[in-house]
Amino acid sequence: MSDQDLVVETVRDILTGFEPFALTAERRWDAGLWSALASAGLTGVGLPESSGGSGGELADAVAIVRTLAAGAAAVPVAEQLLVAGPAVVAADLTLPPVDEPLTFALGPAVTAHASDDGDGPGRFTLSGTVTDVAWSGAARHLVVLAAGAAGPVLGLIDVSGIEATSAVNLAGEPRGSLVLDDVAASGALLNSAQLEELKARYALTRAVQLAAALEQVLAWTVQYAGERVQFGRPLGKFQAIQMELAEMSGEVTAVTALTDAAVQAVERDENVVLAAAAAKVRAGAAVEVVARLAHQVHGAIGFTQEHKLHHLTKRLWSWRDEAGSELAWSRVLGAGVLADGPDGLWPALTRIV
């Protein structure tokens, strides 16, 4: 068994003790699961030990995120391991303890003012409203992309004392807003390429989660079709159902192949923005087919909270337009493949991943 398989096994073992539940105003996230993962060192995987992480590769962190996404785990691990944590480390800022949830947000309406004279990692104060904060209320720290006088700023703030609005996504995952009023931040200036790559990594994070959830929804649907008997036969014996499951498989396979390739692009640090854009767009496009057919095959029970299917389909419907909507990333990719001119499409398509 590889190290990565071992990590995945550990996450699966932990998940068996924490069934997914419908998120409510009283219970917005799974604090118990987070503690269990943190105790096992899993909330620091892929982050260097010298920064307080658990070490390991990006691929290990991706494997953890995939496993948790497939389990509809209500914890900010994806944000911490795949975007916010690596961003803090890359910017040479001090990584908060990895057992305290760290999340990520785009802050188009947040401004950063330098509060010291340095132009490297330094101190800033942040002001403005940051919206769509994943796991707001649960996360202790936030990495936010703000606008500074000298260009974009990556700001790291402690948000434990800042009240968030109660907005949630379709699955009930917190996506609240925070009003920042001269909040002290450690931070670093970003060049525009770094800014775009961080946005892309956030999008790829959602693509990784989408890929894993799509695979799980397919697996659940195949299993259900094998068990549910109507007209004296399991549903899966009907050609009409077989056609639907095969169509779902095609979508899932396409998403997995492209998402894996995009993760490898990040590992190689090549074409990160367009690779992530493509993965996010393709994964989002698959959601329509896979979620629709999964519900169709599951019938009425899948349309209720009594069946587990909704934990993932509601996440799919939200994640596809988070971290930049499918439309926004389609435009990024469409413009990106034409960057070398009107005849540049094919060279771009064979270069991106």
The contact set with another protein (CB under 8 A) reads 222, 225-226, 236-237, 239, 241-243, 245-247, 249-251, 253-258, 260-261, 264, 277-279, 281-282, 285, 327, 329-338, 341-343, 345-350, 352-353
Residue 186 or 256: the one with the smaller Cβ distance to another protein is 256
Handedness of CA 314, 320, 321, 323 (dihedral sign): positive
Give me the least distance between CB of 192 and another protein, in Å please: 20
Give me the least distance between CB of 348 and another protein, in Å please: 8
Give me the least distance between CB of 243 and another protein, in Å please: 5
Residue 301 or 345: the one with the smaller Cβ distance to another protein is 345
Question: In whole angstroms, what is the distance from residue 337 CA to residue 18 CA?
Answer: 43
Residue 58 or 222: the one with the smaller Cβ distance to another protein is 222
Residue 65 or 154: the one with the smaller Cβ distance to another protein is 65
Give me the least distance between CB of 113 and another protein, in Å please: 34
Of 108, 110, 274, residue with least CA distance to 200: 274
Question: In whole angstroms, what is the distance from residue 89 CA to residue 186 CA?
Answer: 12
* Residue where the block lists tokens 């006088």: 149
Q: Are 83 and 207 in contact (CB under 8 A)?
A: no
Cα 297-313-166 angle, rounded to 5 deg: 150
Counting runs of H as helices and runs of E as strands, what totals does the chain give?
A: 11, 7
Residue 154 or 290: the one with the smaller Cβ distance to another protein is 290
Residue 77 or 278: the one with the smaller Cβ distance to another protein is 278
Question: In whole angstroms, what is the distance from residue 193 CA to residue 270 CA?
Answer: 12
Of 67, 7, 75, 323, residue with least CA distance to 215: 67
Q: Where are the extended beta strands (E) located within the chain?
A: 102-114, 122-134, 141-148, 151-158, 175-189, 229-230, 233-234
Residue 192 or 239: the one with the smaller Cβ distance to another protein is 239
Residue 2 or 304: the one with the smaller Cβ distance to another protein is 2
Give me the least distance between CB of 212 and another protein, in Å please: 13
Task: Report which residue type is found at 140.
Answer: R
Give me the least distance between CB of 346 and another protein, in Å please: 5
Give me the least distance between CB of 48 and another protein, in Å please: 25
Q: Where are the extended beta strands (E) located within 63-121?
A: 102-114
Please report, for residues 12, 31, 34, 317, the alpha-carbon distance to residue 18 in angstroms, rounded to integers and kept in the order given: 10, 10, 10, 23
Torsion from C-alpha of 136, 70, 274, 327, nearest 10 degrees: -70
Q: Are 40 and 185 in contact (CB under 8 A)?
A: no
Q: How many CB atoms lie within 10 A of CB 92?
A: 11
Give me the least distance between CB of 1 and another protein, in Å please: 16
Give me the least distance between CB of 16 and another protein, in Å please: 24
Residue 49 or 267: the one with the smaller Cβ distance to another protein is 267
